[in-house]
């Protein structure tokens, strides 16, 4: 028991030094109300169980333990919102020894709030309803949790003078559906698409590849008069602007926004908020690449009563073992694939390929077929090259 207390003290001191450079608590404005974030039944009972166990182990008053949600993550340091407080959390010594000790934004946690202390101790991460994860570092990589417990992921893709490239959108949709969240597509910078005819083509293209069921919203925040673009988007069955996003993120929904740096994620959230809460940055003029302006993961409450997590831009999104997500994004192709003669059919040249047969019969379009085959092939390759130690 004595050793454990000493450990905790040591850890708190070093964490305290590192935390000195974190944004002040006053900059946590815009965070949602505790009541608008809903833990599941399972998470609530896991909290009840954890607080009982920890109180006994640590010989503490059970009232010191509170159910909290990680509403912000700055360089790995969480800020936790509970019914009673918003506080920076340090990891308790017990949790850092365990493997599952990395909190993600959106995590429901059990924190200890000792009387007379400003900060709280993060004691346990409660089971996740969903986890949006990304493989990084190629074949010897590790998984990074981008956000936990989100119900909806808004995948942001900037439009430009060239026709929209759907690769990012489709692979994002596969990763999102794999983790159990819903996906919606946000086409930002529609004012840069070069007119309404072009915007209409881009929307068509995205819908062809992603299918009818994925909602699409287009936005043009750089344009003063965008009524023609808006009319065009609506005529194509897409949502438009802030209103379109608000209608997707209903009260109680926790969503996050995923996309490359410079896609306009923070700009869009600022527009929803009606003020410049989040820092935004100009893109490089040579190639429109962003400069990784956003460095924190941060929940913001939006006027619909929902919540959106702003996140740093992601460079790559490799597909590794996301078969379930692929089947959810391309259900009719995955169905057809079950009737192929060979179980490991690549649907490119094999005899008895039911996928190519279905394609020829017009069951789905060439664009969807191409996207499916490319991603399935990528997954086969990553499976072969991935270090087996890492998968376990």
Ligand X SMILES: Nc1nc2c(ncn2[C@@H]2O[C@H](COP(=O)(O)OP(=O)(O)OP(=O)(O)O)[C@@H](O)[C@H]2O)c(=O)[nH]1
What residues contact residue 262 under an 8 Å CB cut-off, 6+ apart? 158, 281, 283, 284, 288, 289, 290, 291, 313
- Report if residue 296 touches Mg ion, rule: CB under 5 A: no
Task: Provide, rounded to whole angstroms, the least separation between the CB of residue 260 and ligand X.
Answer: 7
Nearer to Zn ion, 14 or 348 (CB): 348
Task: Provide, rounded to whole angstroms, the least separation between the CB of residue 324 and ligand X.
Answer: 28
Which span sits near Mg ion by CB under 5 A: 60-68, 111-119, 258-266, 347-355? 258-266
Which span sits near Mg ion by CB under 5 A: 151-159, 183-191, 291-299, 339-347? 291-299
H or E stretch at 325: helix 323-329
Task: Provide, rounded to whole angstroms, the least separation between the CB of residue 273 and ligand X.
Answer: 13
Q: Which of 82, 149, 253, 294 binds Mg ion (CB under 5 A)?
A: 294
C-beta of residue 332 within 8 angstroms of C-beta of residue 365: no
Q: Which of 145, 266, 307, 382 binds Mg ion (CB under 5 A)?
A: 266
Strands 307-310 and 216-218: unpaired
Q: Which of 145, 348, 290, 288 is CA-nearest to residue 280?
A: 290
- Torsion angle, alpha carbons of 108, 79, 317, 184, to 10: 70
User: CA–CA separation, 170 vs 326, rounded Å?
Assistant: 9
Task: Provide, rounded to whole angstroms, the least separation between the CB of residue 243 and ligand X.
Answer: 15
Which partner, Zn ion, ligand X, Mg ion, none, binds residue 261 by CB below 5 to 8 Å per kind? Answer: ligand X
Nearer to ligand X, 253 or 267 (CB): 267
Counting every residue written for the chain, the total comes to 392
**What residue ranges bind Zn ion (CB under 5 A)?**
340, 345, 347, 353, 355
Nearer to Zn ion, 104 or 340 (CB): 340
Beta bridge partners of 153: 183, 256
Nearer to Mg ion, 294 or 307 (CB): 294
Which partner, ligand X, Zn ion, Mg ion, none, binds residue 345 by CB below 5 to 8 Å per kind? Answer: Zn ion
DSSP 32-66: PPGGGS---HHHHHHHHHHHHHHHHHTT--GGGEE
Task: Provide, rounded to whole angstroms, the least separation between the CB of residue 173 and Zn ion.
Answer: 22
**Interface residue list for Mg ion (CB under 5 A):** 265-266, 293-294
């Amino acid at each position: 028991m004595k050793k454990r207390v000493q450990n905790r003290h040591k850890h708190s001191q070093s964490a305290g030094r590192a935390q000195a450079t974190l944004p002040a608590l006053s900059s946590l404005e815009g965070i949602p109300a505790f009541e608008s974030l809903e833990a599941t039944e399972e998470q609530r009972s896991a909290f009840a169980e954890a607080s009982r166990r920890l109180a006994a182990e640590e010989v503490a008053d059970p009232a010191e333990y509170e159910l909290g949600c990680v509403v912000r993550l700055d360089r790995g340091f969480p800020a936790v919102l509970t019914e009673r407080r918003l506080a920076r959390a340090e990891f308790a010594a017990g949790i850092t020894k365990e493997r599952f000790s990395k909190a993600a934004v959106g995590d429901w946690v059990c924190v200890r709030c000792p009387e007379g202390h400003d900060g709280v101790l993060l004691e346990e991460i409660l089971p996740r309803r969903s986890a949006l994860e990304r493989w990084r570092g190629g074949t010897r990589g590790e998984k990074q949790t981008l956000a936990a417990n989100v119900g909806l992921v808004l995948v942001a893709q900037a439009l430009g003078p060239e026709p929209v490239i759907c690769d990012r959108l489709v692979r994002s949709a596969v990763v999102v559906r794999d983790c159990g969240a819903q996906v919606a597509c946000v086409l930002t910078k529609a004012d840069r698409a070069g007119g309404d005819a072009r915007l209409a083509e881009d929307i068509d293209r995205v819908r062809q590849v992603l299918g009818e069921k994925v909602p699409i919203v287009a936005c043009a925040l750089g344009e003063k008069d965008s009524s023609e673009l808006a009319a065009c988007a609506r005529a194509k069955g897409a949502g438009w602007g802030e209103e379109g996003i608000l209608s997707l993120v209903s009260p109680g929904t926790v969503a996050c926004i995923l996309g490359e740096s410079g896609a306009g994620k923070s700009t869009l959230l600022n527009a929803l908020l009606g003020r410049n809460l989040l820092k935004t940055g100009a893109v490089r003029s040579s190639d429109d690449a962003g400069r990784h302006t956003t460095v924190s993961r941060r929940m913001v409450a939006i006027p619909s009563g929902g919540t959106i997590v702003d996140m740093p831009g992601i460079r790559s999104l490799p597909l590794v073992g996301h078969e379930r997500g692929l089947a959810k994004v391309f259900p009719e192709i995955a169905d057809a694939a079950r009737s192929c003669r060979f179980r490991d059919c690549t649907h490119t040249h094999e005899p008895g390929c039911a996928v190519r047969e279905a394609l020829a019969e017009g069951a789905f379009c060439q664009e969807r077929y191409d996207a499916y085959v490319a991603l399935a092939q990528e997954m086969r390759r990553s499976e072969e090259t991935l270090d087996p130690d890492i998968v376990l």
